[in-house]
Structure 1
């Protein structure tokens, strides 16, 4: 940066982040669509349950990247606090829900990776057990990741609602780092301790 030039504001960094998010969504959308196309029409060795898992995982990737465009989530750790907020403009309640839903999708994807690992392990070492993934069993295994998703996002939505103490705790941090007034931002705040060090 040249001497005398004004330093870029945090808002300009958010714009860069938004551009990269859009590029990521576009690349992920094209790649996952291509993967679905190949899996459905050209790959002959992947059949049955695993084929459905590959297609489902690709769809989850598209939904996750697309929802990131909608919710514009950010997480900031500060001292004894974690603030999870959205940079989206619009209805406060909707965008607060949107970042909770984003975390829900995130956990579903992580859980689904675990399901795929278990399926592959069973396919190699215990083929008879792997057959439990076939038929109607596939719905159980595809539905299982919803449970960790709910266990991850619902408590956050219920217990991490912003309050006066949490807002006061992170107000200056948000203003100095992001140039954002905390009251205007859809957010969840986790401040674990009171000022006297007791658990909240």
Structure 2
């Protein structure tokens, strides 16, 4: 049975699809129109991206897009396993700067639904980990921002230290909460 479970950050969910199995293998519907409609997602601008990660310990994030170019992301691990992290970066939210982390495994076929204004990142727990992103919204290079993965203002409890981080992600500035 398909389930949609709310996470501890408003507007973010974990989607667990129904898995049909028989002697041929598996059949899984990764997105359901009724759920997308209930969540009021504009799928007219949806596109698919794939991120491949060669090594265990590869960290990507924490990324978000500033208004008015915010995106909704539906993220699933299609190969391997990762620790997926969401950080609420909406200043007026009751959960501002709160984070949640979820293990995503390819075998579960689960997806995370990430609302606009939420920073997203992950660390791979296996070699050759692949993530797929269904993104609603239009990418804008100038609106792309990030939170440093080890920012003490957020204090994400990563399950392991990263061994691979891009220079861009490693150089995101630390949050200055006195200004905000």
Q: Is TM > 0.5 for Structure 1 vs Structure 2?
A: no
Ranked by relative contact order (alpha carbons within 8 Å, sequence separation 6 or more), the top structure is: 2
Larger Rg belongs to: 1
| TM-score for both structures, normalised by structure 2 | 0.29
More helix by percentage: 1
| TM-score for both structures, normalised by structure 1 | 0.27
